[in-house]
Amino acid sequence: MQFRDAFLKFIDYCYSYLSDWDNFNGNKWGSFKSSYSSQYDVLKTIVGSEIMFDDLIQHLAHLISFFIDNILTKESNYHSNKDYEKLFKIVEFLSSENATFKRNKLSFCELFMFRNFKDKLLKPFQGNSSHSSQDTQANLVNDDNSVNSSQKNAQFYKYNNKLRSLFNDKVWLSFTVGLFGKHLTRGTTPPALFYNKFPAPYLPKNEKFVEKYNSIIESTQKQILELCVSTLSEKLEEIDHEISNIKKDLDVYFEKDELNIKFDVIEKKEECFLKPRMNKSIKKFNNIFVKKFEVKERTRSGSINSNISRKNYKDNSISNDHIEEVNQEVIIILALNLDKI
């Protein structure tokens, strides 16, 4: 199953509900997943996760962007291809001021993305009225500008995917550094550094030992977070330097501020793509609280109670699912980024 076919089937299905968009719901989306499972699997591979209905707009934007960059840019006359008419109409619909999803108006970021898609997709349809003879001279004069425009767009396209990747990393790492800073200020940690991730106290009944042991862990947590912040900050400087070098390579093809606008558009798109993920991380951050090791008494059997219940332990979080997801985030950041440096 090719991405193009899977994507167009997805667009066709969404378009079928466009006239009754407010009633397009999770059940109807579930019907697509079950009826077109092979197409759904292809789309899921592209976005890198399950496509949940609540996040459908973000995933739709991701898929449209991927389709434009990997399919449409290779077709010189895509605007005359009838296979894409429904895509154009969906983009037109979702870029309007009153566009909604689940009966709620689209956010600024979402509107920004779809208006950007509209500019790319529908531009060939605009301004096609016949020219008078008085316009002929102007058209001839502008031929060189058209050539230059094609040349600079071709140069920019060579760096487009690289820039998207760099800005995606920059936005996410900047957010992560900020979140770690909030942990340091508030005295909390990500789940990977919870107290229950450290060995249990060797002398759990000794109050003085447990108190000092907690202090050592607290100091270690702080040092690790500070190391993460400094390491990721250095990585951000490297990303900025790489973006700056690309900008220097492209400067000769663009007018003043024109390149800055293009870079700003890419960065804004990546912010919009990452917004749902960042919101989830902030929600988890707000649910974190500190629970240190406590002094425990011996049970009647002579065993020592752990301060962590296997079934329902609370260190700084409220669920094992949350722990697993954010653990992976922190471990990846520590392992990959430190290794690179």
Do 183 and 276 belong together in one domain? yes
214 inside domain: yes
Q: Are strands 104-105 and 100-101 parallel, antiparallel or unpaired?
A: antiparallel
Q: How many domains would you assign to the chain?
A: 2
| pLDDT higher than threshold 70 for residue 197 | yes
Which of 119-128, 152-161, 190-199 has maximum average pLDDT?
A: 190-199
Do 105 and 188 belong together in one domain? no
pLDDT band at 333 (very low <50, low <70, confident <90, very high): low
Do 72 and 161 belong together in one domain? no
Tokens read off for 209:
């030992």
Do 275 and 336 belong together in one domain? yes
Which residue reads 């520590």 in tokens? 334
Do 71 and 160 belong together in one domain? no
CB 287 within 8 A of CB 160: no
**Burial class (CB within 10 angstroms; exposed 0-12, middle 13-18, buried 19+) of 39:** buried
pLDDT band at 47 (very low <50, low <70, confident <90, very high): confident
Pick the range with the lowest mean pLDDT from 2-16, 146-160, 181-195, 232-246.
146-160
CA angle 287, 293, 296 (to 5 degrees): 130
Q: Give the separation between CA 246 and CA 244, rounded to whole angstroms.
A: 5
207 inside domain: yes
| pLDDT higher than threshold 50 for residue 76 | yes
| pLDDT higher than threshold 90 for residue 241 | yes
Instruction: Give the model's pLDDT for residue 208.
Output: 94
Closest CA to 325 of 275, 271, 288: 288
Could you give the residue ranges of the DSSP H alpha helices within the chain?
3-15, 26-35, 37-47, 56-70, 85-94, 108-122, 133-141, 143-186, 207-251, 258-286, 320-332, 338-340
Q: What is the pLDDT of residues 79-128, one digit of tens each?
A: 778 888 899 999 989 988 888 888 888 877 788 888 888 887 766 555 44
Do 210 and 106 belong together in one domain? no
136 inside domain: no
* Full residue range of the structural domain in which residue 240 is found: 155-340
Do 176 and 226 belong together in one domain? yes
CB 215 within 8 A of CB 253: no
Calculate what percentage of the chain has a pLDDT beyond 70.
78
135 inside domain: no
Q: What is the pLDDT of residues 49-69, one digit of tens each?
A: 889 888 888 889 889 988 888
55 inside domain: yes
CB 17 within 8 A of CB 102: no
CB atoms within 10 A of CB 162: 12
| pLDDT higher than threshold 70 for residue 326 | no
Do 54 and 11 belong together in one domain? yes
